[in-house]
């Protein structure tokens, strides 16, 4: 499914990835675990094409991601939920969910929107509210819904449990649990395994941009 090999990435004068490798098999949930600044977000952004590799390879279902621009990567069925949510404040919830569908042009927006509302019915209830009027937790749900809209093959979730109330953490875990058993692969970055340990099929530990021995 997703194979990252020997990723080397420099951001400004800092080497943020130092030969990092990772595999996400089809239909599995993999945890990317590391402290703040370890390279989790840099890994996600590299997969999506927001950071340029100095060295290494990234294959998704056998296709070379490095040869594709960012918008073409999303069109392969990769959905991305950034840590900062990345919503457009002035747009409604529904418009924010539809943005990647408008860009990709490979999926039926009505069908994918219906799927998102089926998985996250609370988003339908707030569909016409502007993103700037939502709480931080509600914005996390919208960001997850937007990732689900285009993420038909792979979801990249960057710190989805960070800074949210316990009730929302439980809700996010419930949604992810419902996705298990499908053909959808999921990569979840976390600072620790407190929230999703029971969901994961495997984990990779990153430290200073490189692979580290898995924590017990």
Each residue of 12-24: b (16+ CB within 10 Å) or e? eeebbbbebebeb
Amino acid 70: pLDDT: 87
116-138 mean pLDDT:
95
**pLDDT above 70 (res 215):** no
182 sits in the region (left: phi over 0; alpha: psi -120 to 50; else beta) called beta
Write down the domain spans for the chain: 2-212
Q: How far apart, in Å, are the Cα atoms of 40 and each of 49, 54, 68, 103?
A: 14, 17, 21, 26
Q: pLDDT of 97-121, one tens digit each?
A: 999 898 877 889 999 999 999 999 9
45-70 mean pLDDT:
95
> SS3 sequence, 46-91?
HHHCCCCCCEEEEEECCEEHHHCCHHHHHCCCEEEECCCCCCCCCC
Mean pLDDT of all residues belonging to the chain: 92
Amino acid 12: pLDDT: 86
**pLDDT above 90 (res 43):** yes
Q: pLDDT of 20-39, one tens digit each?
A: 999 999 999 999 999 999 99
**pLDDT above 50 (res 44):** yes
- Phi and psi for 3 in degrees, rounded to 5? -130, 115
| Gap between the Cα atoms of 69 and 72, Å rounded | 5
| Gap between the Cα atoms of 216 and 212, Å rounded | 12
CATH number of 2-212: 3.40.50.300
Sorting pLDDT into bands at 50, 70 and 90, what band is 198?
confident
The two structure tokens encoding residue 18: 């130092």
**pLDDT above 80 (res 197):** no
């Amino acid at each position: 499914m997703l194979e990252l090999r020997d990723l080397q990435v420099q951001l400004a004068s800092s080497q943020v990835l130092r030969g990092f490798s990772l595999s996400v098999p089809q239909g599995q949930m993999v945890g990317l675990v590391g402290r703040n600044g370890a390279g989790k977000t840099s890994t996600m952004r590299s997969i999506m094409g927001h950071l340029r590799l100095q060295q290494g390879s990234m294959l998704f279902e056998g296709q070379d991601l490095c040869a594709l621009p960012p918008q073409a990567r999303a069109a392969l069925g990769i959905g991305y939920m950034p840590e900062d949510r990345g919503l457009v404040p002035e747009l409604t919830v529904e418009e924010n969910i539809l943005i990647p569908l408008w860009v990709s042009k490979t999926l039926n927006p009505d069908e994918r929107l219906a799927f998102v509302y089926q998985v996250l019915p609370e988003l339908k209830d707030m569909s016409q509210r502007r993103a700037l009027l939502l709480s931080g937790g509600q914005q996390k749900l919208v960001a997850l819904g937007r990732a689900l809209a285009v993420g038909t093959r792979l979801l990249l979730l960057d710190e989805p449990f960070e800074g949210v109330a316990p009730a929302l953490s439980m809700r996010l875990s419930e949604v992810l649990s419902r996705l298990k058993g499908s053909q959808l692969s999921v990569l979840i970055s976390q600072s620790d395994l407190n929230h999703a340990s029971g969901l994961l099929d495997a984990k990779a530990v990153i430290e200073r941009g490189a692979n580290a021995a898995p924590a017990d």
